[in-house]
Amino acid sequence: MADKIPSGAPKLWGGRFDPAARRGAQAAEFDRFSASFSYDRRLAHAEARGSRAWARALAAAGILNTGEAAALDAACAQLVAELAAAPPPDDPGIEDVHTYVAQRLEAMAGPAARKLQTGRSRNEQVALDLRLYCLDLRPACEQALGDLIAAFAAFARDHADVLIPGYTHLQRAQPVSFGHHALAYAEMLQRDRRRLADAYARVAVLPLGSGALAGCSFPLDRQALARELGFAAITQNSLDAVADRDFAAELLFTLALLGIHLSRWAEDWIFYSSAECGWLALGDAFATGSSLMPQKKNPDALELIRGKSARQTAALMQILLLLKGLPLAYNRDLQEDKESLFAALDTALDCLRIAAGVVTTAAVRPEAAARAVADPALLATDLADLLVAQGVAFRDAHEIVGRMVAATLDAGRDFRQLSPAELARLAPQLDPAAVAQLSAAASVARRNCIGGTAPEQVRAQAARLLAG
């Protein structure tokens, strides 16, 4: 790569440097090391929009004459249009996105473009571009999150009456509606959605007009710049504005937690689709075969969602470590904020879309779920509740049912098959008819408070989510 850098080209912003130092392998090696265009070219559209707004502000402040302003505005408009569809191709001869846009504008608008850097620093440009880029992705992120929430809600509506064992400690605990389980993830995603909106409130603050660090020395209207670029507010401290990446860290935390939610869900559904449970058959489009074992249908989509969540968490760690101990204001270290942020955003969007596909194409296997949920152990709490209804204190009921469990379940029997004599000995307070009526369906139906697993509640919550 190093040999592709035009050897001996004058150093960018390099009036004070010895031209002789541009020759030789070390200069080329450092150019390659310091270049960021291979990844920050994604910011080209944002950079062109920012440049257009800046040119207009310079014109309004009388720094550009009418002809210069018109030439620059037309060139910026053309570049904005050109870059809307896709970023420019990589070019190892270009240092960064700021150089790329400056060179293009100079080629299009001529000498007027050489005035564009008046009062403006790459330090604030890169902060602006990154914020604009994140803002551009907001609709896609919200759409993908909303679609996945809707997919879980539809699953819950359709499978509210399918019961599965609910777990604690990965030990069977109580019956729950399969829909209730899906809605637990919808709930997490709802929080992610609110967290995302909250994080975006701090992304949408304009840093432009901060100069390199001390503020702008020309009388530019920062509020007008903010309006033009779609920002809700402007930064209030120039040192902070060029050095701040909190907005990226907050966004990354939101994406990391979202990734962890998806990873937990993937783990549950991998288990549910295994032969050990068999309550779900994943859509063929989201499963893969084995190179050796012809019978295999592997849940690779879910495994990749679980695995990829590491990227977002790693990106969060990276930005926190990058910021720790950085002195004010801008430092070149900050160039290292981008690749992992882009990867985290890309991955989050991918995972959300694949997850929605997995949810909408999975088939529930009600017979297998019914076999699992027929485990009488799941009803031990309901048995204790029957005693409570007879006036027994819950602690005593717990003790009594514990003895019944030892006498029946541990021996492979169902406590509903206890003889009247056995029942009278173990728990004389119990009505044998009530014991015989215990069932998973009755168990979930009783949990009919808001937030409970009763199918009625599940359907109501699914309907609320689907209504938006």
Q: Which residues make up the interface to ligand ARG (CB under 6 A)?
A: 36, 40, 96, 122-123, 126, 330, 332, 334-335
Q: Do residues 225 and 54 lie in contact, with contact meaning Cβ atoms separated by under 8 Å?
A: yes
Q: Name the residue number minimizing CB distance to ligand ARG.
A: 335
- In angstroms, give the least distance from the CB of 235 to ligand ARG: 17
- In angstroms, give the least distance from the CB of 332 to ligand ARG: 5
Shorter beta-carbon distance to ligand ARG: residue 146 or 215: 215
Name the active-site residue from 169, 217, 291, 419.
169
Determine the Cα–Cα distance for residues 203 and 223; give it in Å rounded to an integer: 16
- In angstroms, give the least distance from the CB of 338 to ligand ARG: 6
- In angstroms, give the least distance from the CB of 38 to ligand ARG: 11
Shorter beta-carbon distance to ligand ARG: residue 123 or 347: 123
Structure tokens at 239: 């040192």
Structure tokens at 269: 């559904």
- In angstroms, give the least distance from the CB of 112 to ligand ARG: 23
Shorter beta-carbon distance to ligand ARG: residue 68 or 96: 96
What is the b/e burial string over 47-83, where b = at least 16 CB atoms within 10 angstroms of the residue's CB? Answer: bbbbbbbbbbbbbeeebbeeebbebbbebbeebbeeb
Determine the Cα–Cα distance for residues 278 and 293; give it in Å rounded to an integer: 19
Name the active-site residue from 38, 290, 309, 439.
290
Active site residue 169: yes
Q: Do residues 381 and 174 lie in contact, with contact meaning Cβ atoms separated by under 8 Å?
A: yes
Q: Which residues pair with 234 in a beta bridge?
A: 206
Active site residue 51: no
The full DSSP string for 362-413 is -EE-HHHHHHHHT-GGGGHHHHHHHHHHTT--HHHHHHHHHHHHHHTGGGT-
Cβ-proximal residues to 468 (8 Å cutoff; 6+ apart), any chain: none
Q: Which residues are catalytic?
A: 169, 290
